[in-house]
Chain A
């Protein structure tokens, strides 16, 4: 594996294995309800980190804290990409600009746009043309649009969505929409990619495709991935490390083999039997 930024889709400048994201003692509550309780986690460049846990364990809340949608009451989040940034209090768009992209548990595409326009929206942060240039569609604006139009075609190829690229996303099957959402996140050329249940609700064939895409993105482009998923088969297959959340606390962390053998995890998943 080479440095991230030598890959087209990846904007990370770290070497594989270097610490990319550090979460320190994160605490988040909604009124009485504790969603995250003193969660600490490190994510390294180039790995696939899976986060598992029962429903309501706080997995999505954790991603929301990382991408700035939730403000944790306790703890810090530090992200390294060309210098270390404390992102705990940054707005979502600032965090996105630092190189963190994500998909959502319930698809949140731009419904009325075509697949291509959704992907191009993902490139927004890299488009710099000013208002006047855009109004005239001349000079920088035109050059930029053409360059990124070419660029998103690579994502279309990677995700095998060429046949539907001019269609409105609203009209696509669920599985394809999930793929487009992955594509839109990739269009940001992220350093770190957060995927919230990218295979939920898919049949086994679709899951296999999606797992292959995620591995491609990780192996060929060296993008670090944090993945929430319920299918243990897939998780054990593709992740390098796994963290387990239960009632907002991290109860285990380790390689797939370690997690498989962990008593606390077995307990949380199977209950007292």
Chain B
């Protein structure tokens, strides 16, 4: 039983994981990720890969929205920048896929930073509209710049290979995706142990006080947009090489909204929350579909209403979540942990 946390050195006090229970949980999570592909079939591997990409994208968005307080509807557009940059570099210029990924991340960071410029003047709903404009501008360019992006036609990306091995099987690409997801988690968590992450939270909580503490708002907001977009671009680049095909329909404003739902349901301003949200939102349609199939024999004509019922159920589940636990899955998880921390002596 842990009664309280007490440290004898500042190093231990500032360590990432403080208690034995926390360390055990991290080790278990890593083991799960490492062992999963050896037991899962193709269906679940595909899902796991989708979740991994969503985890990266959601962490990137949460950095901007949850931690820095800059609400963005540009997620889909920024993912498109990552996906098209990676896809085009490989398909047109012959850059190897593993080289195109970091370049795509950097390109997305630059584009994200650029569209972050209005954030110095605009807050709240006005910023939402500005980022929505960014989303539409990017998608317009993608669909109309035929000579480069191929316009509305799909961009076909060559299969990724490594030392002559085809990488785009679900099993092999799993390691690429989850390796990079692990890095994303680590890097983000580290950032929030330093002055950069603290400056972002300070801007969210009290921007005037932050400025008076010497935190340059413009600089740190742009840095937040760029860093966030870096990871969002990574998610996009992974989609390009995993799917071998890039189409604009994958990056519409629907995607932006879905990612916002992930971080709101998971927990704003929390890396763990972004992960929970990504898992939940990716799996929810699958469960709803299973439930629908199970009802087949029970309700007549279900085939015609099923697609609509699923969408409605998706919305209802999200609303229920927001009403019952506005602070998200992360909060529920904290409560479970608290319960077991004192268990069986809880009173």
Contacts and interface: CB of A to CB of B under 8 A. Distances in A.
Contacts of B205: 109-113
Contacts of B197: 134
Contact of A122 (B13, B201, B213): B213
Contacts of B13: 149
B338 to A, nearest CB: 15
A245 interface: no
A134 B191 contact: yes
B193 interface: yes
A25 interface: no
Contacts of A153: 10
A104 B201 contact: no
A144 B10 CA distance: 12
A112 B267 CA distance: 14
Central interface residue in B5, B190, B199, by most chain A CB within 10 Å: B190
Contacts of A117: 198, 201
B303 interface: no
Interface residues of B toward A: which range?
A: 20 to 34
Contacts of A121: 195, 198-199, 202, 210, 213, 215
A138 to B, nearest CB: 8
Interface string B216-257: 110000010001000000000000000000000000000000
Interface in B309-336: none
Contacts of A108: 206, 208-209
B211 interface: yes
B213 A184 contact: yes
- Name the prevailing secondary structure of the B interface residues: helix
Interface stretch (A2-10, A30-38, A90-98, A258-266): A90-98
Interface in A22-69: 67-69
B194 interface: yes
B209 A120 contact: no
A150 interface: yes
Nearest to B183: A135
Interface stretch (A124-132, A203-211, A220-228): A124-132
B213 A125 contact: yes
B117 interface: no
Nearest to A137: B190
Contact of B201 (A92, A112, A123, A144): A112
Nearest to B227: A131
A110 B202 contact: yes
B64 to A, nearest CB: 15
B216 A145 contact: no
Interface in A58-112: 67-69, 91-93, 96-97, 101-102, 104, 108-112
A108 B210 CA distance: 9
A109 B206 contact: yes
Interface in A210-239: none
Interface in B160-188: 187
A162 to B, nearest CB: 13
A97 B214 contact: yes
B277 interface: no
Interface in A143-167: 144-146, 149-150, 153, 166
A111 B269 CA distance: 13
A96 to B, nearest CB: 4
B35 interface: no
A131 B227 CA distance: 9
Interface string B270-298: 00000000000000000000000000000
A145 B196 CA distance: 11
A136 interface: yes
Contacts of B223: 131
Contacts of B121: none
Contacts of A21: none
Interface string B1-42: 000010000110110000000000000000000000000000
Contact of B190 (A112, A113, A134, A184): A134
Given A68-B212, A145-B195, 11 more contacts: A92-B208, A110-B209, A121-B210, A121-B213, A123-B195, A124-B213, A129-B195, A134-B197, A144-B195, A149-B13, A188-B214
Interface of A: 67-69, 91-93, 96-97, 101-102, 104, 108-113, 117, 120-125, 127, 129, 131, 134-137, 141, 144-146, 149-150, 153, 166, 184, 188
Interface of B: 5, 10-11, 13-14, 187, 190-191, 193-199, 201-202, 205-206, 208-217, 223, 227, 269
Q: Which 10 A-B pairs have the closest CB atoms?
A: A96-B214, A125-B214, A137-B190, A127-B195, A110-B205, A108-B209, A134-B194, A92-B211, A135-B187, A93-B216
